[in-house]
Structure 1
Amino acid sequence: MSSKLNPSTHHREFSGLPGAIGITIGLPVLITFFALVTNESYSLQGINLDFNAIIKQIPKNQQEWISLVFDKTCWAAYLTWFFVLVLLDFVLPGVHMKGVKLRDNTQLDYKINGLAMSGCLIALLIARVYQSSDYFLPELQFIYDNQLKLTLVTTVFSFALAVFVYVLSFVPLVKPNGLGTRERILSVNGNTGNPIYDWFIGRELNPRIGSWDIKLFCELRPGLLLWFLINLSCVHNQYHKFGKVTDSLILINLLQAFYVFDGVLNEEGLLTMIDITTDGFGFMLSFGDLAWLPWSYSLQARYLSLPENSITLGRAYVAFIVAVMVIGYYIFHSSNKQKSDFRQGKLDHLNLASIKTKTGSRLLCDGWWGASQHINYLGDWLIGWAWCLPTGFQTPLTYFYVIYFGTLLIHRQTRDEAKCRAKYGKQWEEYEAKVPYKIIPYVY
């Protein structure tokens, strides 16, 4: 339904309904496959699958499926995890910041408390270690021993949450919006009128319960921090079963923990990113945040935790991988900071080359942003390589992330390019002439 505030969506992402259905089915199957080929019953070696070993792990009848998907203990554990984090989001102190201006000329208020949230989790883990006998934490062992069940729990929960926010998008606001109506602001991508597609892509832009923002919470809380705990559970299991932890598993934990907490501690940066400003919150983000992120991003640690995949890297290779991570992070962080400082006028004294657009904004085409249109994506991709390299070259499975993430970055780049071409017109053509490379300088 179209209105002044919410025009109808005509463009379809992911090839429309067929793509939405394919992703909705395919990605949950994929992370379930990851659980079936990285466990103590079977671990994939090379590229040859042992289908018999995989089939043996799959339930044979309806009752076994119900027991697997709806395990009471796993559901109780995950719901406790999710809603305790919700409670902490309310009670922990934080800084209140305004988001971008919305179509009704209002700005939403966000509570930024990543530092307090991270500190609380770390303090709790340290306290549990001191209380434990021989550093054994039942909670971490529970995560490791129930990877398949928890994968299915997070998947089903993300489906349910997507249904909830879709239904919520039809409920009128309690207080009038900036235009004096009770109409919710819908995503520019999710107002097609097709319930399946809108449910998938996200109908409402910023679904909220009172002042609590569901989308921002899910972006940086349950899934991201669960990823950290899954990785820790792999270290915990390897130490208690084999009496030592390999340098490859320690390295992947340190590199990814740095990334996790860097994201949580800098959550205000999300307020201007496309996930928050443009995308609705539907199944795509719900599943991506709560299930896909923790269970696909932890693939390397789960693989390395198994004895048959044990790898000792040595100091030289560790140093090389750390260097790749540092270079990637430096490019990612410094390029984003340069753009942010430029937009705030902090770099005006440098007279960086830019193009003034018809909207009054300026397109930076100097410094990092003279090298490529999305130089920050290159940094992010290099970070991904640093996560995969510790697994050696025993199987292409552990390099799934860099392939997937590279594809995702290209998709984001094409979306952004289409948006900018429509928004800036001839100024964008001028910008492309000055900065021809999309992501990797002199390559693409």
Structure 2
Amino acid sequence: MTVLNPVTKTTEFGGPIGSLILIIFLPLVTLFLFLACNEIYLMEGFNLNLQLLKDAFNIYVYNDLNNLLFDYQSWKYYLYWFISLALLDVYIPGNEKFGIKLRDGSKLKYNINGLQLVSLLLIIICSRFYLLGFNLPELNFLYDNFLNLMFTTWEFSILLSFFVYFTSFIPLRNKNGNGNGNGNGNGNGNYERILSINGNSKNILFDWFIGRELNPRIGDWDIKLFCELRPGLLLWFLLNLSCLQRQFQKIGYITNSMILVNLLQFIYIIDGVLNEEGCLTMVDITTDGFGFMLAFGDLCWVPFCYCLQARYLTLKEINLTNFEMLIIILLMIIGFYIFKASNNEKNNFRSGKLSNLKSIKTERGTKLLIEGWWGISQHINYFGDMIIALSWCLPTKFNTILTYFYVIYFTSLLIHRQIRDDEKCFKKYGNSWIEYKKKVPYKIIPYVY
């Protein structure tokens, strides 16, 4: 008999000790990026000015810690933002789609309405700019309360992580009152939740960090997919706009570097929101649980770390030559094309539309693609992502390594994810995976790695 929720025997990220380190370290990184890039101190070159960093810490954090931890205004605005998006996510009409088959044989239903939501948001923002010019009070609030909101999203992600952890122990009630028919009912109309294969270690700290339940939901509303694509991504977009607006208020015009950063990142953000259906087959949704790692990453890390280039350009006026702009745009186009074309090819192959492409049939009866984009490297989409990341950093030129944090971090993240994927695929496909790696030897970067 197959166990619905097997106990996790091998923990990732260094287990409980590694999780504790990341729980402390990741928020400190977000704080450091702010302290190294603000009106008091702007890191230049490759050396930190520790005294100025300390001064910024004392002024922004130490002397204002109570307000940062208990900021009523920030909490009010953030809850309004989160809840409004959640309601729109549920009630804006969209296309009904189903995710992959779960271990109990069921498929979860999703309301795919990213296009409708983005259209509404853009109409509101454009109307506001038309009426008020570059003086939107909501964007001024975002820029002036950047650190307070960062602390608020960090605290919110902690609370959300506790909520989904504790609710993962509460059995779900079958609407028919008779279990789900797959052997995991308990005879009284309740049935088990499907847990993550990575987050059922029985260690409270690790499971809370990595995520115990696979798809925590309130009714049909999927908390994980929502957090992945809505509040953090769209807040990143608004934070970038707040920097653009503040630059105009300071110097009377908008530099081409600021326009470029906003435009390139906007394309990526909107593509992510519009690509909901594609996310249903991603590892984050199909395999990983939803705990502090994803909650903090989606709600705090993404918006407040990824807007670093725009914040830097608010403080340092940079104008690019036409040639520099052309090179950066070409890099973005190349990276985006590789990223989109490879992912589309994978999705089409999985849906049976590209049966003419060469593949390896696994012992499980599934197929591993070894032609087209996926014959070039095992994760060619990651290579496209790396090129995109570089294009976002280049508009800041080479004044400091700080603004290249994103491409350095993201490359490390993708390499780590590739290692995780390799281990999982070997367990899943066995000898078929070994054969696949002989056919496609390069992991991410063709002919390099």
TM-score, normalised by the number of residues in structure 1: 0.96
Letter aligned with residue 251 of structure 2: F
| Residue 75 of structure 2 is aligned to residue 75 of structure 1 | yes
After TM superposition, give the deviation of residue 59 of structure 1 in Å.
Answer: 5.0
Match of 2:378 in 1: 373
Deviations 1:335-374 (A, max 9, x none): 11112222222122xx322111111111111111111111
Match of 1:111 in 2: 111
After TM superposition, give the deviation of residue 69 of structure 1 in Å.
Answer: 2.1
After TM superposition, give the deviation of residue 62 of structure 1 in Å.
Answer: 8.0
Partner residue of 2:336 out of 325, 329, 332: 329
Match of 1:52 in 2: 51
Partner residue of 1:191 out of 200, 203, 206: 200
Q: Give me the whole-angstrom Cα distance separating, in 1, the residues matched to 2:389 and 2:282.
A: 20
Partner residue of 1:315 out of 305, 317, 322: 322
Q: Give me the whole-angstrom Cα distance separating, in 2, the residues matched to 1:69 and 1:59.
A: 15
Q: Give me the whole-angstrom Cα distance separating, in 2, the residues matched to 1:281 and 1:169.
A: 10
After TM superposition, give the deviation of residue 159 of structure 1 in Å.
Answer: 0.8
Letter aligned with residue 256 of structure 2: D
Query: After superposition, where does 1:242-321 map in structure 2 within 5 Å?
Result: 242-306=251-315, 309-321=316-328
After TM superposition, give the deviation of residue 273 of structure 1 in Å.
Answer: 0.4
Q: Give me the whole-angstrom Cα distance separating, in 2, the residues matched to 1:194 and 1:178.
A: 29
After TM superposition, give the deviation of residue 95 of structure 1 in Å.
Answer: 0.8
Deviations 1:406-444 (A, max 9, x none): 111111111111111122222211111111111111111
RMSD: 1.5
Q: Give me the whole-angstrom Cα distance separating, in 1, the residues matched to 2:144 and 2:378.
A: 44
Match of 1:359 in 2: 364
Do the aligned partners of 1:106 and 1:178 also contact (CA within 8 Å) in 2? no
**Pair 1:62–1:372, CA change in 2 (3 A):** closer
Q: Give me the whole-angstrom Cα distance separating, in 2, the residues matched to 1:379 and 1:170.
A: 40
After TM superposition, give the deviation of residue 58 of structure 1 in Å.
Answer: 3.2
Letter aligned with residue 116 of structure 1: Q
Match of 2:238 in 1: 229
After TM superposition, give the deviation of residue 245 of structure 1 in Å.
Answer: 0.9
Deviations 1:371-414 (A, max 9, x none): 11111110011000001111100111111111111111111111
After TM superposition, give the deviation of residue 122 of structure 1 in Å.
Answer: 0.7
Letter aligned with residue 80 of structure 2: T
**Pair 1:413–1:62, CA change in 2 (3 A):** closer
| Residue 217 of structure 2 is aligned to residue 208 of structure 1 | yes
Partner residue of 1:402 out of 402, 407, 425: 407
Do the aligned partners of 2:100 and 2:280 also contact (CA within 8 Å) in 1? yes
| Residue 180 of structure 2 is aligned to residue 177 of structure 1 | yes
Q: Give me the whole-angstrom Cα distance separating, in 2, the residues matched to 1:335 and 1:64.
A: 48
| Structure 1 runs of 4+ with >4 Å offset | 59-63
Query: After superposition, where does 1:88-107 map in structure 2 within 5 Å?
Result: 88-107=88-107
Do the aligned partners of 1:186 and 1:203 also contact (CA within 8 Å) in 2? yes
Deviations 1:123-175 (A, max 9, x none): 1112212332x431010011011111111111111111101110111111122
Partner residue of 2:422 out of 409, 417, 429: 417
Shifted more, 351-360 versus 11-20: the winner is 351-360
After TM superposition, give the deviation of residue 53 of structure 1 in Å.
Answer: 2.5
Q: Give me the whole-angstrom Cα distance separating, in 1, the residues matched to 2:62 and 2:217.
A: 37
Deviations 1:35-69 (A, max 9, x none): 11211122111122233333233358988311122
Deviations 1:6-54 (A, max 9, x none): 1100111111112111111001011011111211122111122233333
Do the aligned partners of 1:187 and 1:204 also contact (CA within 8 Å) in 2? yes
Letter aligned with residue 203 of structure 1: R
| Residue 134 of structure 2 is aligned to residue 126 of structure 1 | no
SS, match of residue 101 in structure 1: coil
Do the aligned partners of 1:144 and 1:234 also contact (CA within 8 Å) in 2? yes
| Residue 354 of structure 2 is aligned to residue 347 of structure 1 | yes
Do the aligned partners of 2:33 and 2:305 also contact (CA within 8 Å) in 1? yes
TM-score, normalised by the number of residues in structure 2: 0.95
Do the aligned partners of 1:36 and 1:148 also contact (CA within 8 Å) in 2? no
Match of 2:28 in 1: 29
Match of 1:219 in 2: 228
Deviations 1:215-235 (A, max 9, x none): 010000000000000000000
After TM superposition, give the deviation of residue 120 of structure 1 in Å.
Answer: 1.2
Deviations 1:69-95 (A, max 9, x none): 221111111111111111111221111
Letter aligned with residue 341 of structure 2: S
Do the aligned partners of 1:177 and 1:183 also contact (CA within 8 Å) in 2? no
SS, match of residue 111 in structure 1: strand
Q: Give me the whole-angstrom Cα distance separating, in 2, the residues matched to 1:82 and 1:141.
A: 19
> Identity, % of aligned pairs?
56
Letter aligned with residue 327 of structure 1: I
Do the aligned partners of 1:166 and 1:203 also contact (CA within 8 Å) in 2? yes
SS, match of residue 100 in structure 2: strand
Gaps of 5+ in 2: 186-190
Q: Give me the whole-angstrom Cα distance separating, in 2, the residues matched to 1:283 and 1:357.
A: 34
Q: Give me the whole-angstrom Cα distance separating, in 2, the residues matched to 1:50 and 1:178.
A: 63
Do the aligned partners of 2:13 and 2:19 also contact (CA within 8 Å) in 1? yes
Query: After superposition, where does 1:378-393 map in structure 2 within 5 Å?
Result: 378-393=383-398
SS, match of residue 100 in structure 1: coil
Q: Give me the whole-angstrom Cα distance separating, in 2, the residues matched to 1:291 and 1:235.
A: 20
Q: Give me the whole-angstrom Cα distance separating, in 2, the residues matched to 1:315 and 1:178.
A: 64
Q: Give me the whole-angstrom Cα distance separating, in 2, the residues matched to 1:62 and 1:247.
A: 36
Letter aligned with residue 386 of structure 1: S
Shifted more, 65-74 versus 13-22: the winner is 65-74
Do the aligned partners of 1:99 and 1:110 also contact (CA within 8 Å) in 2? yes
